[in-house]
Amino acid sequence: MRVLRGPAEERIQVPLSGAAILFLLCSLVEILEGKVLPPALHVHCLFIAVFYLAWYATPLKGAVAGSLLGLVEDYLFDFYLGLNGLSKTLIGFCIPYLSRWTSAELGPMRPLLIAGIALLDRGIVYGMLYLLTQRGPETPISAILSSAIVTGLAGEAFFRLYDKFRFPPSNFRRL
């Protein structure tokens, strides 16, 4: 794990191999759950991945990760290429600033934050889609809301699990 020194604080970055594995896993889960789960329970794994990667990255890297994963999501779900890319670029760019401005231990607030931003992501995507095609979302709004909440909870769980894996308590015992 590389530790980079930023201007005001130390930034911990996810290694490239880890990001790649995360990306592949999320893609796989997205495909599977798209076929099995109803829309209301759909967990946006790629969104969680973007959120996680950007949380520990610089704004530019967050935006790049968001753009790439967004394009993958567009490809997997047969959207116009660039719709999710655009929304996740913006979100990937903003999340590093959020991570700096909020305290590291958000506690119960983090799932809400993830759910809120997931909702914002859907809003940008469907808003753009409406502007381009004058068509609203096919998924009901209640399902979108429900999916955002589920994504928030799943994201929080992912944060806890993956952080435990990346930062095992044995490392801290040596300090």
List of residues contacting other proteins (CB under 8 A) = 7, 58-60, 63-64, 67, 70-71, 80-83, 85-86, 89-90, 93, 128, 132-133
Query: Residue 36 Cβ, how far from other proteins at the closest point, in Å?
Result: 28
Query: Residue 115 Cβ, how far from other proteins at the closest point, in Å?
Result: 24
Query: Residue 123 Cβ, how far from other proteins at the closest point, in Å?
Result: 16
Total residues belonging to the chain: 175
Residue with smaller CB distance to other proteins, 64 or 145:
64
Residue with smaller CB distance to other proteins, 66 or 111:
66
Residue with smaller CB distance to other proteins, 93 or 159:
93
Residue type, 39: P
